[in-house]
Chains A and B, each alone.
Chain A
Amino acid sequence: MNANGGDRVLEVRDLSVSFRTGRGVVRALRHVDMAVPRNKIVGIVGESGCGKSTLINSVLRLLAANAVVGDSSTVLFRGDDVLRMNDRQLRAMRGQKISMVFQDPMTALNPVISIGTQMADILYRLDMTAAGKRERAADMLAQVGIPDPMRRLDDYPHQFSGGMRQRICIAMALMMNPALLIADEPTTALDVTLEAQIIHLMKDLRARFECSMLFVSHNLGLIAELCDEVVVMYAGEVVEQGEVHDLFHRAKHPYTQMLLECDPARIEKASRALPTIQGSVPDLIDLPRGCIFGPRCPKRYEPCDASPPGTYGVNAIHSARCFQVRDA
């Protein structure tokens, strides 16, 4: 695990989540260990369906009704286990201590409630006058770069552009000055210029608000630019994690290596076809016996088919779930 432990805002230990469906039990997350240290940005990267969303939904306990969480799983937020909180504790945590920026700003805001009301509602726990809450909301809008915020409080979401709406969502996330901010692919729905602006804004806000961040993305470039640590996920498992530069320059897991090769931004030699990873994500109902990545792995050898690999340290700040790291 990571060396700079102790002062961790979020610590996920042995998290397993399954979904009961008509076809069988989908084992969406299996034995996930990861942590977010104070004042750090941790990036989670992986293909769609790798369990990123299930992981963050578990942290906020926003899982669907058919989800089953493993008995030995814990999600410690500042020492308290989120998975064992009651409704009151959960509500006290959500939005107040952990807040979230969603993927699609076009659908994340309620279309029939003015943004001023939506923002003020987040402060419902505070003993503040309505005018005070509005002022606070306007102040936050100003911080994220919305011009003329006091007047725009009475506007409805459809009166803002996509980039503006994502700024509003970020402002809402920071309203309660949370200890942890979870951003679920916050720029995927935006075009490239807006993406750069939002990333810039997040870096800027991080310096000002001193909160830790869990940043989910499938864009390796963004992760490299913004994050301090990276967690690479594949088919419901953490396959590699570590300090951002170390991991990107010395990727050990074949999946991470291939992911880096597939990133269009990193392709150096001109090629007609984009490199892709052969095969497809395994069926999470009927798992392979050995390594989860085995069926698609170009470097597979005997131990891989026999049993799943454990997590082996590459160095003090970097680990991977691959027999080659153990045998290296």
Chain B
Amino acid sequence: MAGVTASDAGTPIRRESRLSWLWQLLGDPLGAFGLFLVLVVVVSAAFADVLAPYDYKALDVKARLGAPSWDHLLGTDNLGRDTFSRILHGGQIALYVALVSIGASLMLGLILGMLAGYGPRWLDNFLMWIFDSVRSFPVIMFALAVITVVGPSLETIIFVVIATTTPGYARIARASTLATKNTEFILAERSLGAGVWRIMFSHLVPNIVQPLLILCSMDIPVVITIEAGLSFLGLGVKPPTPSWGSILNDGFGFIRNTPWLVVAGGIPLIVTTLGFTFLGEALRDVLDPKLKKDR
């Protein structure tokens, strides 16, 4: 019960408890577990070059489709490449796509949301309509359509993700802009001659950091799933760049003979999505008690 405060859009973040949420997060077993999984994934991706026992591109035709052994912890694929090394490097791609596209969505969403909230009414309606429309496509179908037009590549995936996740951030920014735009401090600063956008930005951002953070951690597993899914379909990153999706795709071709390839390719995806989701849930419970489900 202690530390529960109303987190209205207008309430500034309490200064004295800057880091207390982190301790609360660690106090939640699932949150701590999620954070642990996320750290494992991030560290193993960041140090993939050091940790990987083999070069992920190195072919070893004699050892192709090898079963897990001490030499190759998770076996080798149809070209004799070490699956464990490929998985470590695949993490780099997954996190790269997630960070770049979520970062871009965040910035774009903030700008569009503030435009919708502060701009003229017609612009607001138009943007909201666009956001609603984007949500009404099944994501994969949208991705497939875009890929048909511009061809499969890492950039295409990032574009698709930005297009589908931006509305979420824009909505938060818009709601907060609407709530703050006529408050007195904004009007007061305007009367002092400060630029509207600068004021909005500097007042808005601290107020919506928390919901944006929650949404980010919820979106990351979705993005990683989209990247892996498209790579699994052979429509994602181009070989030989290792993606968890393409590892699965390679394994899928030999599912009856060498099932460990599929099993191994799926594990990092499960660990990552579960980790980020648990972390996101716990973050939400800690940062936004209003949304807390009564567990």
Contact = CB atoms under 8 A, between A and B. Distances in A.
A23 interface: yes
B192 interface: no
Nearest to B2: A22
A22 B3 CA distance: 12
A195 B198 CA distance: 56
A32 B2 CA distance: 32
Contacts of B2: 22
Interface in B108-152: none
Interface residues of B, number: 2
B129 to A, nearest CB: 33
A163 to B, nearest CB: 35
Nearest to B1: A22
A21 B1 CA distance: 9
Nearest to B4: A22
A151 B1 CA distance: 51
B45 to A, nearest CB: 41
A22 B1 CA distance: 6
A65 to B, nearest CB: 12
Nearest to A23: B1
Nearest to A21: B1
Contacts of A21: 1
Contacts of A22: 1-2
Interface residues of A, number: 3
Contacts of A23: 1
Interface in B1-25: 1-2
A22 B289 CA distance: 15
Interface string A1-44: 00000000000000000000111000000000000000000000
Interface in A137-167: none
A23 B1 CA distance: 8
A23 B4 CA distance: 12
A285 to B, nearest CB: 13
B295 to A, nearest CB: 14
A17 B129 CA distance: 55
A49 to B, nearest CB: 19
B4 to A, nearest CB: 9
A74 to B, nearest CB: 33
Nearest to A22: B1
A20 to B, nearest CB: 12
A14 to B, nearest CB: 30
A22 B2 CA distance: 8
A23 B2 CA distance: 8
A22 B4 CA distance: 12
Interface string B136-180: 000000000000000000000000000000000000000000000
Interface in B251-283: none
Contacts of B1: 21-23
A22 to B, nearest CB: 3
A23 to B, nearest CB: 6
A191 B175 CA distance: 37
Interface string A172-207: 000000000000000000000000000000000000
A190 B1 CA distance: 35
A304 to B, nearest CB: 33
A67 to B, nearest CB: 17
A22 B294 CA distance: 14
A21 B2 CA distance: 12
A8 to B, nearest CB: 40
B286 to A, nearest CB: 16
A8 B1 CA distance: 43
Interface in A248-276: none
A142 to B, nearest CB: 43
A225 B1 CA distance: 44
A26 B114 CA distance: 46
A38 B101 CA distance: 74
A10 to B, nearest CB: 34
A207 B2 CA distance: 52
A64 to B, nearest CB: 13
A232 B2 CA distance: 34
B265 to A, nearest CB: 46
A1 B242 CA distance: 85
A107 to B, nearest CB: 20
B36 to A, nearest CB: 28
Give me the 4 closest cross-chain CB pairs, A-B, nearest first: A22-B1, A23-B1, A22-B2, A21-B1
4 contacts: A21-B1, A22-B1, A22-B2, A23-B1
Interface of A: 21-23
Interface of B: 1-2
